[in-house]
């Protein structure tokens, strides 16, 4: 019995220090991993903040460009900017549609920074302006002048309940206010 007891004490002398060493090592490793996790989280948060600092001005600039696009394709502004003088109605019709296409393609990349709903509103506004110009052109007599087309487009804008770009402009401005 004393031999068994002595053997048990010898075993405890060997196992107990090993258990203390394993527990201490586990504790130190656990603290190390927690610290590493905390550092990674802090770095990720700093990176997110830096990314937001970079992307926010770019997004705001994209919204500004889209507002400018909508203002430029608003029929009354478009007709003031693109003169009908010296053009037949057919030529002026092509020039107006080319101007809208050019403005739109120049700003197409801005959709990356906008919500899908805002970009859909911009597309819808463009389509409505194009449809209004096309309808006005179709309502003209053959051989009409560019000034006749401009007058008819303006008359159609005045008789419509709302400018074709107004809804999109309001939507984009509201989204800007909510986002920034």
* pLDDT of res. 29: 92
Judged on CB neighbours under 10 Å (0-12, 13-18, 19+), 156 is middle
- Locate tokens 């507002």: which residue? 67
List CB contacts of 5: < 8 A, sequence separation 6 or more: none
Q: Which residue has tokens 């800007």?
A: 176
pLDDT at residue 39 in the model: 87
- Residue ranges covered by each domain of the chain: 2-179
Specify the pLDDT at position 51. 58
Residue 72 has pLDDT above 70, yes or no: yes
pTM here? 0.72
Q: What is the DSSP string of 75-108?
A: HHHHHHHS--TT-BHHHHHHHHHHHHHHHHHHHG
* Euclidean distance between CA atoms 128 and 123, whole angstroms: 9
The token pair that represents 122 in the structure block: 């911009």
Q: How far apart are CA 126 and CA 2, in angstroms?
A: 99
Q: What angle in degrees, to the nearest 10, is found between the helix axes of 2-73 and 116-139? A: 20
pLDDT digits (tens, 9 = 90+) for 9-61: 888 888 888 888 999 999 999 999 999 999 888 887 776 666 567 678 899 99
Measured CA to CA, the distance from residue 161 to residue 67 in angstroms comes to: 21
């Amino acid at each position: 019995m004393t031999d068994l007891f002595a053997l048990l004490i010898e075993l405890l002398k060997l196992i107990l220090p090993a258990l203390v060493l394993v527990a201490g090592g586990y504790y130190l490793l656990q603290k190390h991993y927690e610290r590493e996790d905390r550092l990674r989280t802090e770095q990720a948060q700093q990176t997110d903040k830096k990314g937001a600092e970079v992307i926010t001005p770019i997004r705001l600039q994209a919204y500004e460009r889209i507002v400018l696009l909508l203002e430029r394709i608003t029929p009354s502004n478009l007709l003031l900017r693109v003169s009908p003088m010296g053009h037949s109605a057919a030529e002026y019709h092509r020039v107006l549609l080319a101007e809208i296409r050019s403005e739109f393609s120049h700003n197409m990349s801005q959709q990356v920074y906008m919500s899908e709903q805002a970009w859909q509103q911009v597309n819808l506004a463009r389509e409505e302006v194009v449809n209004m110009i096309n309808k006005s052109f179709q309502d003209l007599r053959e051989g009409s002048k560019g000034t006749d087309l401009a007058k008819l487009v303006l008359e159609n804008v005045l008789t419509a309940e709302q400018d074709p770009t107004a809804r999109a402009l309001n939507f984009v401005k509201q989204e800007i206010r909510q986002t920034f």
